[in-house]
Amino acid sequence: MTRTFRIGQIVPSSNTTMETEIPAMLRAREALHPERFTFHSSRMRMHKVTKEELEAMNKEGLRCAAELADARVDVMSTACLVAIMAMGRGYHREVERDLTAVARANQCLAPVMTSAGALVHGLKTLGAKRIALMAPYMRPLTDLVVDYVEHEGIEVQDSICFEIPDNLEVGRRDPMQLVEDVRRLNTQEVDAVVLSACVQMPSLPAIQIVEDALGLPVISTAVCTVRQMLENLGLEPVAPGAGALLSGKYPVLQKR
């Protein structure tokens, strides 16, 4: 009997990408593997990507976790990287603990994760020590993301930010533009490239193209989120056309 897994996401109200790219990767996986997936979201209000709006949005996360718990999802993840990273180093661990407590209080046993933690986990799965990344945020928020990643032991050699404050505009950006944008990024001697450090900036169609051109692993936060979702579900972490991290080349890290 084919099992169907319920994917739960806590999504900013203006995010239009995580409910398209996550399903796209898992639908592609369905063509090769027997497992099936359904997708369920709860939303937090947010329009502008500013520290003030991100702080206000984070307060709604516990409500969203309770709502997804009611659907008895099989895995639960936040879907906003910068909202976590802007709150301070290592903050994804605190959020994961708080959301897990709410899920358990509402009789849901699903593993709980964050897209911010997933990016860190994905980079460590690749064994990346030095990276370059691109993000749509204003420079001060991008600098917070860089600091957060470096605090996790991964050097950020170069970063490009497109400084788009309106979250809807971020979601409308042509992902194939990243194929040109990456040429301005210093990728010499890096172990991996984060093509989109933002879950709202579309990148999936460009991931494999850029990876093939650069000859090194290329990821996005969305790709890392799928990787950790599959690991948490106990499934083989593979999906075609999504780059090295979901190619099957990299084994699951042993939990410490």
Q: How far is it, in rounded angstroms, from Cα 142 to Cα 163? A: 9
Report residue 185 as tokens: 């990024």
Angle CA(242)–CA(228)–CA(192) in degrees, nearest 5? 50
Residues 41, 25: Cα–Cα separation, whole Å: 17
Name the catalytic one among 80, 108, 161, 224. Answer: 80
Q: Are strands 192-196 and 155-161 parallel, antiparallel or unpaired?
A: unpaired
Of 64, 108, 161, 198, which is the active-site residue?
198
Instruction: Report the distance separating Cα 72 and Cα 132, nearest Å.
Output: 37
Q: Is 108 a catalytic residue?
A: no
Token digits for 101? Answer: 């407590």
198 included as an active-site residue: yes
Separation CA 175–CA 214 (nearest Å): 17
Catalytic residues: 80, 198
